[in-house]
Amino acid sequence: MTRLNGKTAVITGGATGIGRAAAKRFVEEGAFVFIFGRRREALDTAVADLGPNARAVQGSVSDEADLDRLYGAVKAERGTLDIVFANAGTGSPLPLGQITSEHIDETFDTNVKGMIFTVQKALPLMREGGSIILTGSSAGTTGAPGFTAYSASKAAVRNLARTWAEDLKGTGIRVNVLSPGATATELAKEALGEEGQKAYGAMTPLQRMADPAEIGAVAAFLASADSSFMTASEVAVDGGLAQL
């Protein structure tokens, strides 16, 4: 498919997991992709795999100067931007009763504040017809035991799309939330462990975890004109986990 021919995309958290699968799909569909994340080695490996239509910028979404460098690189090489996949996220469990201020700050700095600045700083480069995709989670809708900060941060992401769809009226830029459920990535492994992952997969009506490519495919749909009448929506790609 060539749905993204000539488009320029930024994917935060694009070196691994869902972001990397989306980057692969975007490139396959014709896009030029900038991936952004903190680990140099992961970025280098991903860019080598993605080929000549991919660039990596190292940095944290929690650092405004790093985001300025990201968009500086986009402007210098491509001039404008069509797609922002604000996907970088972090999350670990901490039961109610043991939650710390640091845990809340770390989660919200990345998942909420980092996402807000990722999008705000992209806007001056974005063109009419642009698409912003925010990675939410089934945990933003359901109760996820032990995941207070993570779940609350993802519930906040859901509202960002609603509010920004209003704020972006008249610009021709759409914004939607893509909410994965159980997906086999590093984050799921670290947050849940092997047993937890099995249980998480088994809880879904499809009785398995998603392959990150299954989430990347929906990100490509939301990035493309195939979703041209969608904004402020949440698309659940969760094997039915949060839909029952």
Q: Which of 7, 121, 150, 200 is catalytic?
A: 150
Q: Which of 42, 70, 81, 160 binds ligand NAP (CB under 6 A)?
A: 42
Least distance between ligand NAP and beta carbon 188 (Å): 4
CB nearer to ligand NAP: pick between 129 and 155? 155
Q: Which of 18, 50, 122, 219 binds ligand NAP (CB under 6 A)?
A: 18
Q: Which of 107, 131, 176, 183 binds ligand NAP (CB under 6 A)?
A: 183
* Interface size with ligand NAP, residues (CB under 6 A): 31
Segment near ligand NAP (CB under 6 A); pick from 7-15, 76-84, 124-132, 219-227: 7-15
Give the single-character DSSP code of 109: I
Note whether 144 binds ligand NAP by CB under 6 A: no
Q: Is 71 a catalytic residue?
A: no
Least distance between ligand NAP and beta carbon 42 (Å): 5
Note whether 204 binds ligand NAP by CB under 6 A: no
The DSSP H or E segment spanning 9 is strand 8-12
Q: Which of 188, 218, 220, 235 binds ligand NAP (CB under 6 A)?
A: 188
Q: How deeply is 232 buried, as exposed, middle or buried, from its count of CB atoms within 10 A (0-12, 13-18, 19+)?
A: middle
Note whether 137 binds ligand NAP by CB under 6 A: yes
- How far, in Å, CA of 146 to CA of 90, rounded? 14
Per-residue x/- marks for ligand NAP, 56-75, CB under 6 A? ----xxx-------------
Q: Is 200 a catalytic residue?
A: no
CB nearer to ligand NAP: pick between 5 and 207? 207
Q: Which of 19, 130, 201, 239 binds ligand NAP (CB under 6 A)?
A: 19
Q: Which residue has the tokens 């929906």?
A: 218
Q: Which of 24, 154, 169, 198 is catalytic?
A: 154
Question: Considering Cα of 109, then 136, then 20, then 25, what sign does the dihedral take?
Answer: negative
Q: Which of 7, 8, 31, 89 binds ligand NAP (CB under 6 A)?
A: 89
Name every residue whose Cβ is closer than 8 Å to that of residue 170 and which is 6 or more positions away in sequence: none
Give the single-character DSSP code of 38: S
C-beta separation of 110 from 150 below 8 A: no
* b/e code 157-188 from CB counts within 10 Å (16+ = b): bbebbeebbeebeeeebbbbbbbbbbbbbebb
Nearest CA to 178 out of 157, 205, 201, 200 is that of 157
Q: What residues act catalytically?
A: 150, 154
